[in-house]
């Protein structure tokens, strides 16, 4: 399922329930580039220590944009002895929320863009219809601002949100050249009170003129009016004045708060999907997933911390289980059987003996992929075949049991040795540490 800003809100519940019902999730990201320094192969040099790898990626990869996020959910159907899959292909873009919100800059690397273009990537879906997002700090700031306005209003402190803060200071000082304009507005409002119309739309005017109108009307007509700035599709702003009684005024204020709340949720946007994945505690499978995980944290949670803190933030966000299929394929008993560990090659090898092609079926209403017609480098497809690789390898482990089992669940103890729980970087915490230690450390970090 393709998900953009257009259908995002309608899809959200479908996404949530797919995550909720799944046995495991597979993810993949596409980026606007890989490295703004050393070339990509030097950046992921196999000889680096995990610390070096993390530090290099943090320095040279985080200014690119994760602009397509693939999520494939796998739910095992006992009666069919098959996994039922739901694939989502999200397009992501940091569309500024309003004129004061951060104006994100990101780098594009021509070779990466050219490569995606050659694979049929649709850039218009990203740049014209990408789903916005906020990291946790941006979200907190926005919620705080909204909350403050509400409290001020509820306590009668300050002014209602639709009236400028300086509105109650008495008659506004109106510069000579605007006096005619403001007098005409006042005449129109007096006419509004005298006639049977309910609302009056003024002509579009400048921000300064709007401020003068707010100040003047609030002073001249302290009751019985609702004044609001409305933006047209052409981004022109005009003032709408309505005659209202107290009840109507409250109703409108309530409406406005609800609208604000909805806009806030819209602004958090795609981050809500990531929060749902994180909260689900489900096994998350990826292929060579360090960069995907780093971008996910950087873009939807917080700027990347130093390595030690990263491992903690990471454990906090994905408290249960994470598994890298490239790493799994390079580990016993697979290491001896698998020659190439690139995603496309791995998927091919895992269809052949001694492995068995995984039994999967696309859920109704979802687009199905055909692995014979490769759609590599579409994030949804890559997530899908990453999941297939995991299933084949997991089931292969069942052949060692007595009697052998053809299906091994994502919750099986057999899978656990392959988890990257505390060691997405192949770093393991001292065994004597407990999860509670991690949480304690993490919360200390959160305060600094």
Compute the distance between CA of residue 404 and CA of residue 395 in angstroms, rounded to an integer.
10
Residue 274 burial by Cβ neighbours in a 10 Å radius (0-12, 13-18, 19+): buried
Distance from first CA to last CA of the chain, Å, rounded? 41
CA nearest neighbour of 373 among 151, 10, 16, 119:
119
Please say which residue, 57 or 317, places its beta carbon nearer to its own copies: 57
- Report DSSP letters for 386-443, one per residue: HHHHHHHHHHHHHTTSSS--S---TT-GGGGGG--SS-TTS----TT--HHHHHHHHH
Please say which residue, 33 or 358, places its beta carbon nearer to its own copies: 33
Please say which residue, 58 or 150, places its beta carbon nearer to its own copies: 58
Please say which residue, 106 or 219, places its beta carbon nearer to its own copies: 106
Q: Which two tokens stand for residue 178?
A: 């605007």
To its own copies, the closest distance from the beta carbon of 251 in angstroms equals 32
To its own copies, the closest distance from the beta carbon of 126 in angstroms equals 8
To its own copies, the closest distance from the beta carbon of 104 in angstroms equals 5
Please say which residue, 127 or 193, places its beta carbon nearer to its own copies: 127
To its own copies, the closest distance from the beta carbon of 105 in angstroms equals 5
Please say which residue, 127 or 433, places its beta carbon nearer to its own copies: 127
Question: CB under 8 Å to 65, separation ≥6 — which residues?
Answer: 31, 32, 92, 93, 94, 106, 107, 108, 299
To its own copies, the closest distance from the beta carbon of 5 in angstroms equals 10
Please say which residue, 95 or 149, places its beta carbon nearer to its own copies: 95
Enumerate long-range contacts of 392-398, CB under 8 Å, 24 or more apart. Answer: 392/350, 392/351, 392/355, 392/356, 392/357, 392/358, 393/325, 393/328, 393/329, 393/334, 393/350, 393/355, 395/355, 395/356, 395/358, 396/333, 396/334, 396/354, 396/355, 396/356, 397/333
To its own copies, the closest distance from the beta carbon of 235 in angstroms equals 8
**Host H or E run for residue 288:** none
To its own copies, the closest distance from the beta carbon of 97 in angstroms equals 10
**Residues contributing to the site for its own copies (CB under 8 A):** 32-33, 36, 39, 65, 93-96, 103-111, 113-114, 116-117, 121-124, 126-128
Please say which residue, 117 or 191, places its beta carbon nearer to its own copies: 117
**Host H or E run for residue 76:** strand 66-77
Please say which residue, 76 or 381, places its beta carbon nearer to its own copies: 381
In a 13 Å sphere around the CA of 34, the CA atoms on its Cβ side amount to 14
To its own copies, the closest distance from the beta carbon of 137 in angstroms equals 17
Compute the distance between CA of residue 134 and CA of residue 437 in angstroms, rounded to an integer.
29
To its own copies, the closest distance from the beta carbon of 96 in angstroms equals 5
């Amino acid at each position: 399922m393709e998900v953009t800003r257009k259908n995002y809100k309608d899809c959200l519940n479908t996404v949530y329930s797919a995550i909720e019902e799944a046995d495991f999730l597979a993810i993949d990201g596409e980026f606007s580039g890989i490295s703004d320094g050393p070339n990509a192969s030097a950046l992921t040099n196999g000889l680096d220590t995990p610390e070096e790898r993390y530090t290099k990626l943090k320095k040279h990869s985080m200014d690119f944009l994760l602009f397509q996020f693939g999520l494939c959910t796998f739910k095992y159907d006992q009666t069919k002895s098959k996994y039922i899959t739901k694939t989502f292909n999200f397009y992501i873009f940091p569309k500024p929320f309003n004129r004061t919100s951060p104006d994100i800059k990101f780098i594009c690397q021509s070779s990466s863009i050219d490569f995606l273009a050659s694979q049929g990537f649709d850039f218009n879906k990203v740049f014209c219809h990408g789903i916005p997002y906020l990291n946790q700090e941006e979200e907190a700031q926005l919620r705080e601002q909204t909350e403050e306005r509400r409290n001020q209003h509820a306590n009668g402190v300050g002014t209602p949100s639709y009236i400028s803060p300086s509105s109650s200071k008495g008659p506004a000082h109106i510069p000579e050249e605007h006096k005619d304009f403001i007098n005409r507005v006042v005449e129109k409002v007096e006419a509004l009170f005298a006639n049977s119309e309910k609302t009056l739309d003024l002509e579009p005017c400048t921000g300064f003129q709007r401020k003068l109108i707010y100040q003047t009307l609030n002073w001249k007509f302290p009751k019985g009016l609702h004044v609001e700035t409305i933006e047209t599709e052409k981004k022109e702003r005009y003032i709408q004045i309505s005659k209202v009684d107290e009840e109507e005024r409250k109703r409108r204020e309530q409406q406005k708060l609800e609208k604000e709340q909805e806009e806030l949720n819209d602004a958090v946007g795609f981050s809500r999907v990531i929060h749902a994945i994180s909260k689900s505690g489900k096994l998350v499978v990826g292929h060579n997933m360090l960069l995907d995980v780093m971008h996910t944290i950087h873009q939807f949670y917080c700027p990347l911390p130093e390595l030690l803190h990263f491992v903690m933030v990471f454990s906090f966000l994905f408290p249960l289980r994470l598994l890298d299929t490239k790493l799994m394929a390079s580990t016993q008993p697979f290491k001896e059987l698998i020659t190439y560990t690139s995603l496309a090659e791995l998927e091919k090898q895992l269809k052949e003996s001694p492995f068995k092609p995984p039994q999967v079926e696309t859920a109704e209403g979802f687009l199905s992929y055909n692995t014979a017609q490769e759609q590599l480098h579409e994030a949804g497809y890559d997530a899908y075949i990453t999941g297939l690789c995991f299933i084949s390898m997991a089931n292969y482990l069942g052949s060692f049991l007595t009697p052998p089992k053809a299906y091994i669940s994502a919750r099986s103890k057999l899978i656990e040795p392959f988890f990257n729980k505390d060691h997405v970087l192949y770093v393991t915490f001292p065994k004597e540490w407990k999860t509670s230690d991690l949480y304690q450390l993490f919360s200390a970090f959160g305060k600094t």
